[in-house]
Amino acid sequence: MDKLVIQGRRPLRGTLSVSGSKNTALPLMAAALLADGTTILDNVPHLRDIATFSNVLRIVGASVKFNPERHRLRINASRIDFPEAPYELVKKMRASFYMLGALLGRCGEARVSLPGGCAWGPRPVNLHLEGIKALGAEIDLDGGYVVARAPGGRLAGGRYKLDPSSVGATINIAMAAVTARGASRIENAAIEPDVVEFCKALQAMGAQIDGIGTRTLDIEGVDELLPIAYPNCPDRIELGTFMIAAAIAGTPGEPVRLTNANPDHLGAAFIEALERTGTRITIGPDYVEVIAPDEIEPVSITTGIYPGFPTDLQAQWTVLLTQARGTATVTDTVYTDRFNHIPELNRLGVQATAKGETVTVEGGHTLKGAKVMSTDLRASVSLVLAGMVAEGTTDVLRIYHLDRGYERLEKKLSAAGIAIERVQYDEFAQPEPHAA
Ligand code: EPU
């Protein structure tokens, strides 16, 4: 297995480039199944989740080729003849559940494994199922699988109100609706940039969608969608992670530049909160410059749906607060128990406790390197950030979680001054007995 070994307290400087968005690439890949022919997606990050989802697409009959140097993915969906997403792949990645909408839209039937548990508590799919049922699908559960069928081979279309608003359910329902016989309306639709970009791609394929970027999506089903060549957008969560890295590990007064970015996708709440810590931010059309403050002000945040503070940045914010001169809180209202990183951060000397949906962080304590373990994607990167500001050596174990969503993280950080390397280790090695 691989781990990251970090020698802390080296300044982050220079330029880091942001990769393509994982959470936008995945629904774009699913949408490619709706068109008979070859869809080409550019700016697709070279990540484990993309490889896993490529395998999901291959199972149903698509041919998928990835060029990692060009970050170009070619999906030929001319022959989709096995409408099933098996447990072995869906359990690895919840986004595989997008196959429900994609296969219903393309084949009029789907057999998709339920995703099951997650690293941080329940993440239900009730809204996906209810929404797709509202479009006219017949749905049964069979041995852990959702079996869905469009009567007559094509969904009728219908109306559904999401409560709460959900990124994944909006995407799944929209994917099933674009090729329905009639009209559909999704109310309280998600307006996260991932959803907006996905809807724009569907539109480019020929889908009839009104209200993109608003809470109500009106979709008129069409007979056919066409394959497209489409550029994926930059990863907003990677950008936010690097902005936090620059605030805590940059040299005060010296800008760290983040390129290939789309700052609009971050949402106002994150940028405002980071500015209130004293961090100076300059926003360009496709770059962001961040200047670390002399002293970080403790700023409490509460996550929310877009344009609120992203839940995918709360673990990283907790690390920022360890460097502040005072106490502040992190409250997650989207996933109320997404705090597996706290006991691991405690091992580095972080003074933080989780109670209910809130973590209280006491800043100003020196962090000391230790061995810590990744538990999920964003938790993993928070451990890397903590290792960057801790004294001594930090080993972040089990980084297969990190590899799901951050492309070449150690290469990007080491090129910007951080002492970090990937090392193979034996997860089951026993410590040597103490010599007499
Ligand atoms: N929800 C339900 N029922 C459902 C679906 C969602 O109650 O059927 C609830 C959830 O429990 C949650 C809220 O709705 O409280 C919002 O969840 P949402 O469905 O929007 O999340 P998701 O689509 O499953 C995506 C991202 C996550 C990100 C969330 C929130 C992808 C592949 N995943 O998940 O990203 O945290 O939106 O922004 O796009 C990550 O990248 O690390 C990650 C977990």
pLDDT surpasses 80 at 343: yes
Answer yes or no: is the C-beta of 167 below 6 A from any ligand 1 atom: yes
For residue 121, the model assigns a pLDDT of 66
- Proportion of the chain above pLDDT 70, given as a percent: 98
- What value does the mean pLDDT of the chain take? 96
Answer yes or no: is the C-beta of 399 below 6 A from any ligand 1 atom: no
For residue 76, CA distances in Å to 4, 124, 227, 323 come to 36, 31, 9, 49
Nearest CA to ligand 1 atom 35: 312
For residue 220, CA distances in Å to 156, 247, 265, 307, 324 come to 11, 46, 27, 27, 51
DSSP class per residue in 19-36: -B-HHHHHHHHHHHTTBS
Radius of gyration of the chain (CA): 22
For residue 275, the model assigns a pLDDT of 98
Nearest CA to ligand 1 atom 7: 124
Answer yes or no: is the C-beta of 169 below 6 A from any ligand 1 atom: yes
pLDDT surpasses 80 at 351: yes
Q: What is the mean pLDDT of residues 303-326?
A: 97
Answer whether 406's CB lies under 8 Å from 49's CB.
no
Of 406, 356, 358, 355, the C-alpha closest to 379 is 406
Q: Environment class of residue 368 by beta-carbon count within 10 Å: exposed (0-12), middle (13-18) or buried (19+)?
A: middle
Q: Provide CB contacts within 8 A for 355, sequence distance 6+.
A: none
Q: Which segments of 63-158 are extended strands (E)?
A: 63-67, 72-76, 84-85, 109-113, 138-142, 145-149
Question: Which of 21, 265, 311, 334 most suits a substitution to test ligand 1, by most atoms within 8 Å of the C-beta?
Answer: 334
pLDDT surpasses 90 at 349: yes
For residue 119, the model assigns a pLDDT of 67
Whole-angstrom Cα distance, residue 29 to residue 72? 12
Answer yes or no: is the C-beta of 124 below 6 A from any ligand 1 atom: yes
Answer whether 58's CB lies under 8 Å from 64's CB.
yes
Whole-structure pTM value? 0.97
pLDDT surpasses 80 at 436: no
Q: Environment class of residue 295 by beta-carbon count within 10 Å: exposed (0-12), middle (13-18) or buried (19+)?
A: middle
Q: What is the mean pLDDT of residues 404-426?
A: 97
Nearest CA to ligand 1 atom 8: 125
Q: Which segments of 193-279 are extended strands (E)?
A: 208-210, 216-220, 229-231, 255-259
Question: Which of 166, 236, 303 most suits a substitution to test ligand 1, by most atoms within 8 Å of the C-beta?
Answer: 166
DSSP state, residue 212:
T
pLDDT band at 427 (very low <50, low <70, confident <90, very high): confident
Q: What is the mean pLDDT of residues 247-267?
A: 97
Q: Is 280 helix (H, G, I), strand (E, B) or coil?
A: strand
pLDDT surpasses 80 at 19: yes
Of 320, 227, 220, 340, the C-alpha closest to 270 is 320
For residue 190, the model assigns a pLDDT of 98
For residue 198, the model assigns a pLDDT of 98
Token pair in block for residue 355: 């109670």
β-pairing, 63-67 vs 72-76, is: antiparallel
pLDDT surpasses 70 at 300: yes
Whole-angstrom Cα distance, residue 22 to residue 47? 8
Q: What is the mean pLDDT of residues 164-189?
A: 98
Nearest CA to ligand 1 atom 2: 124
Which positions are catalytic?
118
pLDDT band at 118 (very low <50, low <70, confident <90, very high): low
* Index of the ligand 1 atom closest to the CA of residue 122: 11
- Proportion of the chain above pLDDT 90, given as a percent: 94
* Index of the ligand 1 atom closest to the CA of residue 95: 32
Answer yes or no: is the C-beta of 170 below 6 A from any ligand 1 atom: no
Whole-angstrom Cα distance, residue 47 to residue 93? 12
Q: Environment class of residue 104 by beta-carbon count within 10 Å: exposed (0-12), middle (13-18) or buried (19+)?
A: buried
pLDDT band at 123 (very low <50, low <70, confident <90, very high): confident
List, for residues 36-54, the tens digit of each pLDDT value: 999 999 999 999 999 999 9
